[in-house]
Structure 1
Amino acid sequence: MATSNVKKIHDFDQSIWLDFIDRKIMDSGDLQKLIDEDGVRGVTSNPAIFEKAISSSSDYDADIKELAQQGKSNEDIFYGLAISDIQRAADMFKPVYEEEVRGADGYISLEVSPHLARDTEGTVKQARELWKAVGRENVMIKIPGTVEGLAAIRTCISEGINVNVTLLFGLERYEAVTDAYISGLEDRAAKGESVDGIASVASFFLSRIDVLVDPQLDEKGLGELKGEVAIALARKAYEIYQRVFSSDRFKKLEEKGATPQRVLWASTSSKNPAFSDVKYVEALIGPKTVNTVPMETLEAYRDHGQPADRLAAGIPEATDVLKKAEAAGIDLEGVSQQLEDEGIEKFNKPYDKLLAAIDEQKQKALQTV
């Protein structure tokens, strides 16, 4: 059988993670098939993914009933369901976690409540609780890269909790996230604790940037740059990654066993039908990176992807694209802040919808007791 186009991406030292989880994909054997045939090397989740999984299937009804009868809150019921799925997926990916360089891949991500995005102490408290409850070394706790999230990231890393930093849209904030990661490792080393085996990724969101910026480009007569700003920002983020993690500061930690915080490309499905459906995968293949893709994007890439290392080679062009956009008056840092604010709201809505759906099923369950 010919090697899958998705699996070939790993030849260029990039890891493909699946941006999806539910019980059906595990029960059916489809997730194991993705590991075996497509070389999928991890899974990310978010409130919207779990909302769809729990609301559109009866797979969770029995567990909701059991947890409801224990007097659990709606949020506790949700995390009880999610933790069970995350543990199961983590066990499936344990062989990936243990192969090659231990801990390079095989991670499953679980997010703190999106309502904590502006709450440092609340984020740290829930991250600790989730980390302990899941009880798997190949799990990452997702924390948004908000200003308030930076201190939470540093604290969690210092305590040995793996972190997937989510909702990144701008270069300044991305660099601040790398500092939070390194500072957390330094804090840990200063306590005489091991920095070996701690892992983190910084998730840079792509297609949403172009959705917001492209109409502005049209207005300013720069239509030829449509669909290019997000990729340009990603390439410049990779340039920052290369600089930061080859610095003398990080090398001191590397000598103690620390690993770089890899950059992860998220929101990689094309929102504009005029673009290729594999646009954000194709352009950003490069070493020591991760791309998390929804199922439909993975299937499209399997069908017609053309894997090649294109990431670093595009940095000079990326610099030019961003200069043109900024010269035309497009405030890219303002764009990143707007997208962060909207992103939090986009996760809050399905989260609240999910809790409402759980409450409805909980009330039904309690009526039948």
Structure 2
Amino acid sequence: MTVIAWGAGPTEAPTRAALLTHDDRAALLRFMLLMRATEERALTLYRQGRVPGSYYDGRGQEAVSVGTAFALGPRDRTCILHRDLGAHLVRGVAPGRVLAQMMGRAGGVTGGRDGNMHFGDRRLGCVGMVSMLPDMALVACGLALAFQIRREPRVAMTWFGDGSTANGQWHEAMNVAGVRRLPVVFVLENNQFAYSTPNSLEFAVDPVERAAGYGFPGVRVDGNDVEAVFHAAAEACDRALSGGGPTLIECETMRMHGHGAHDDMRYVPPEMLEEWAARDPVERFEARLGADGFDVHAIHASVRAELERETAWALAQPMPEPATALEGVFASEDPELGDGRAPWSHWADAAREAPHA
């Protein structure tokens, strides 16, 4: 079974929370290794001066990014955070396109129009990232509302950090999702710091408890255990598909580096980093699979070979032609989108056709 085939249709929805197969577990490790290796390569390119601006990644948070996305089906939609490269990889985005994106090359996902993680791929169900981080939660609610109105068995999933929960947009998203029982999964990556602000100065209650205030469940999971993360996400998807509404999943993890490549994270106590380093999600799952008889060395070799091929491809990509700068600005230029009009021209009309139960 391929990774993104989970829940390929409505009859498969109950199987999302089933036990992972041998191939599934190997794929989880492979995606986690590929995420880390790709981000380490991107950091090297940044230090070589090939990446404009700063660089932000999700090293240490691989289990969250990969484990949650692995629970999705191909018709589901994602609103991905800048630290969740693993989710893009699970959905099918090639590492080479990401590296080219970081370098602002024409072969990047945005064709050289951005040198960061502000991209999406409509063909793979990935919505382009909005820099104002909580805003993607609202976008996910819009997607989920469309699925609900059209009676389509699909889920929207969105990721955000603990710092995002202090913003009004986040609460707006939680509220509308709860009121309309939208088929959306909120993934809270609690990596202990909002830039340099620790959890103790961010909120007075555990973030997961906030879900109850909006009328839906909150689940806390070890964000460094990819299998635990997967099962929590799969159960949340099952709940959404059955009409039960949204779920907030708080994944407890740690940002093992600065907010960006420019941040020396001197505000993090050394003993805290040591504690979380001992719980490294990649090493932890690698050891588990090794004990279960998996050929971990072969998975490593496969990832290394793929990364070298993808890096070579990315470095061979040209810079974009200046004459193309104004292309792709308007949706009307895309024949797949047409003029943007949907079967329902107004939300109220759609609501009357498919009233909320």
Q: Give the TM-score normalised by the residue count of structure 2.
A: 0.34
Query: Which structure has more helix as a fraction of its residues?
Result: 1
TM-score, with normalisation over the residues of structure 1?
Answer: 0.33
